[in-house]
Structure 1
Amino acid sequence: MMNNGHTRILWGLIGLACGIGLGVAAGVTFLSPAVPTSLATPEPVTSVPVTEREYADQHTVELAFTATTGSEIMAPADGRVTTSTCSPGNTLDSGTATFFIDGKALISLATSQPLWRDLHLGDSGADVRALQEELVRLGYSSSTSGVLDANTLAGFNYIVRGIDPTEKNLESIELSRILWIPAPQVTVASCEVSVGGNARAGEPLATLPISAQEAHILQLPTNASPGARVVVIDGKEIPVDDEGRISDPAVLQRFAATSSFTTAVSSETPTISASYRLATPTSVLVVPPGALYDVAGEQACVVGDGEPIAVEIRGSELGESFVQLVGDAPTTPSEVAADPKGSPACR
């Protein structure tokens, strides 16, 4: 039988052991690591902010074209070149004069049909109509009847006297005064006769560079947004029509002035890569694809600020959809529902 001293010692040891056990348990509880944030169950995303951006709907396309070798601008008459502003890289413009032969201005004209005879009052034909149409394009009053009348002759005289006020009014349009050019403005590659040189009728005064007759996109993108479009070549924006064609002479000249055209002309397969995009970028709303529902072609719905809204899909890119509000839609929403399944119809 233990005495009182031994009993007190035993109970002290038991208490100490219990204290140590409780301390270890508390320490283990205190030191247990928290669950890392990356492993925690994420809160469900119910809405996504809406942003706006400019959208040009760019596509990479290939253009094919037809080209002509450098054509020559032929002198209409014999004589000495007394004045010339011809220089490689400069232009010949319809309705102006670059060359003077024997002191008289040669009027550059881009008629759809080259003139082939002297024209007098009362003369008629396709050449007369071509002259009249070019005078109208240049801003002069003229009929387009195909019959040379007083107004037509007056329009031509306005051009002549605007270049040389000392000239008297002409009573006819002499072929020797007309320098035919193939477009309203053409760029000169080389000048064949300088001031003081002799011009010969039917021989070149100047040579034009290789030019484009027509260009077109080989395959138009099927999902391109509607609107006026351009192709961008070497940083230059060149308009194309709805069928992806370039046919306007002035625009073709810009196209032919690109270094890509010069390089492609000498290749076996003359095509040019270009960016095909909207001429004027449009403002769109950027939403995640999952925010769209009830999609039918380009029409869709989103739930914006809690309300179903009709939108039109303009395009998509890298997990983003670009849309525009349709009709009498409310103001631009600040956010859209991330998962709109089961939402009411918007149209």
Structure 2
Amino acid sequence: MGLNTHNNRKESEVRRAAVSPSVIAVMAVIVLAVGMTGGLLLAWRPVPDSLQPASTDDRTVAAVQDTYDDARTVDITVHTGASQTIAATGSGMITATSCEPGAVVASGTAPLSIDETPQLALHTAVPTYRDLQSGMRGGDAQSLNDELRRLGYAAPVGDTMTWDTILAYNTLAYSVGAEPLTAENGWELPVGSYLWLPEVTVTVTSCPAAVGTTVNPGDGLIVTTATPGYAEAVMPDAGSFPGSRSLQIDGTAYPLVAPDGGGIMTITDTNLISAITSSSTYAQLLSERGGPEGMGADGGDITVSLPWTLDETATVWDVPPSALYDLEQADGCVVSDGEPVAVTVVASGLGRTKVVTQSAKSLGDVLVEGKGHPSCR
């Protein structure tokens, strides 16, 4: 038994001697691996963007051609003056009237009658201050011709009263039953032949002369609300599209040239001001003020915002926003058909960006991801 014990002890020692080198070798490998991993972690640094490899996203989409009117918003403040009184030009009794508060009196109509003769109401930029005859020239003759043509009658162009002016005036007078010009007075248009309106249309505040009232020249017939005197517009810069533009007012285009670089400009064109004050936008704002009566006798200001668009639409391209790279303000690049192309951003939204090419070059298939590609500049 003693011999067996001795032999077993020797076998155990032999096995330990055989295993120990293997274990040591494995442990050494593990320690070495851990050390190398720790060294790599300590040595790692992020790679700068400039040294990153170019994007490998080679997906492309077709740039979509579109038209663009580059609508800009123009804020226009209409300054109104004090209310005015339309006065009688002759003597007699008021025998008929359509005057009532809130009513609108338009140029070329007859809002009332004196001694059963309809009284023509007419807007002219320069009131007739003298008896006009054929051959006479001046601002009053020019204004009369302009208004007759605006109303659709065949008056001449220019500042001279002619036979065509007389024919146009008489055609208008006959249409409303007013007194025409006749041979008896040498086809002369006397001062006071019509009721002068300060604007193409006026809104009535009160009616001093009711039916049955006897009036004399200068007596008040109709009191108007405050009328627009002039307007000021805050004009934006034309930006990438310097072409001719127009204000859009209820579906009608009104040409409006802005100063270079934008800024505040004064509008005195009575036809344009009339279009603005007759617009649905202005009417809504006026209603919120309590109507014409809410403006008061001394007037006030109303600011409307209207679109200002290109008369000829521009050609633009719709591309994914990610296609743009090297952006500096609105200028950037896209890769089109494998080539970098310089573009300018004009609008963006709904996952698409509208651009124009700086060289009038058409865009084809553009890379969805442009970042990392060569610059176009």
- 1:173 maps to 2:189: yes
1:336 to 363, 367, 373: 367
The equivalent residue for 1:114 is 127
How far apart are the structure 2 equivalents of 1:252 and 1:125? 24
Deviates more, 1:62-71 or 1:334-343: 334-343
How far apart are the structure 2 equivalents of 1:143 and 1:255? 25
C-alpha deviation, 1:179, in angstroms? 0.9
2:108 to 95, 117, 123: 95
The equivalent residue for 1:140 is 154
C-alpha deviation, 1:93, in angstroms? 2.7
- Over alpha carbons, which structure has the higher Rg? 2
- 1:321 maps to 2:353: yes
How far apart are the structure 2 equivalents of 1:162 and 1:275? 36
2:217 to 180, 185, 201: 201
Q: Aligned letter for 1:141?
A: A
How far apart are the structure 2 equivalents of 1:87 and 1:238? 33
How far apart are the structure 2 equivalents of 1:192 and 1:94? 20
Q: Aligned letter for 1:207?
A: V
How far apart are the structure 2 equivalents of 1:167 and 1:58? 48
Q: Is the 8 A contact 1:46 1:339 kept in 2?
A: no
Q: Is the 8 A contact 1:67 1:211 kept in 2?
A: yes
Q: Aligned letter for 1:202?
A: G
Deviates more, 1:125-134 or 1:172-181: 125-134
Q: Is the 8 A contact 1:211 1:253 kept in 2?
A: no
The equivalent residue for 1:156 is 169
- 1:260 maps to 2:285: yes
C-alpha deviation, 1:80, in angstroms? 1.7
- The percentage of aligned residue pairs carrying the same residue is 24
Question: Relative to structure 1, is the Cα distance of residues 292 and 250 closer, same or farther in structure 2, using a 3 angstrom cutoff?
Answer: same
Deviates more, 1:180-189 or 1:105-114: 180-189
Q: Is the 8 A contact 2:347 2:354 kept in 1?
A: yes
Question: Relative to structure 1, is the Cα distance of residues 199 and 305 closer, same or farther in structure 2, using a 3 angstrom cutoff?
Answer: farther
C-alpha deviation, 1:327, in angstroms? 7.0
Q: Is the 8 A contact 1:229 1:240 kept in 2?
A: yes
How far apart are the structure 2 equivalents of 1:113 and 1:273? 28
What SS is found at the alignment partner of 2:353? strand
The equivalent residue for 1:4 is none
Alignment of 1:300-315 (within 5 A): 301-309=333-341, 311-315=343-347
The equivalent residue for 2:232 is 216
C-alpha deviation, 1:68, in angstroms? 0.6
How far apart are the structure 2 equivalents of 1:250 and 1:327? 40
The equivalent residue for 1:7 is none
Pairs aligned (count): 299
The equivalent residue for 1:278 is 309
- 1:191 maps to 2:223: no
The equivalent residue for 1:130 is 143
Deviates more, 1:75-84 or 1:46-55: 46-55
- Alignment root-mean-square deviation, CA: 4.4
How far apart are the structure 1 equivalents of 2:169 and 2:141? 12
Question: Relative to structure 1, is the Cα distance of residues 336 and 107 closer, same or farther in structure 2, using a 3 angstrom cutoff?
Answer: farther
How far apart are the structure 1 equivalents of 2:206 and 2:84? 11
C-alpha deviation, 1:321, in angstroms? 3.4
- 1:242 maps to 2:257: yes
How far apart are the structure 2 equivalents of 1:111 and 1:85? 22
The equivalent residue for 1:25 is none
How far apart are the structure 1 equivalents of 2:364 and 2:358? 13
Q: Deviations over 1:261-311 (max 9, x none)?
A: 574968xx9573736553788674343555335778866542234455564
C-alpha deviation, 1:106, in angstroms? 1.9
How far apart are the structure 1 equivalents of 2:229 and 2:255? 14
Q: Is the 8 A contact 2:109 2:121 kept in 1?
A: yes
Question: Relative to structure 1, is the Cα distance of residues 343 and 163 closer, same or farther in structure 2, using a 3 angstrom cutoff?
Answer: same
Q: Aligned letter for 2:283?
A: T
Q: Deviations over 1:212-241 (max 9, x none)?
A: 322223463575754625488xx9999572
What SS is found at the alignment partner of 1:130? helix
- 1:84 maps to 2:97: yes
Q: Is the 8 A contact 1:310 1:326 kept in 2?
A: yes
What SS is found at the alignment partner of 1:153? helix
Q: Is the 8 A contact 2:267 2:273 kept in 1?
A: yes
Q: Deviations over 1:149-186 (max 9, x none)?
A: 43332222222122239968463223343111122333
Q: Aligned letter for 2:156?
A: S
Q: Is the 8 A contact 1:183 1:250 kept in 2?
A: no
Q: TM-score, normalised by structure 1?
A: 0.65
- 1:291 maps to 2:320: no
The equivalent residue for 1:34 is none
What SS is found at the alignment partner of 1:127? helix
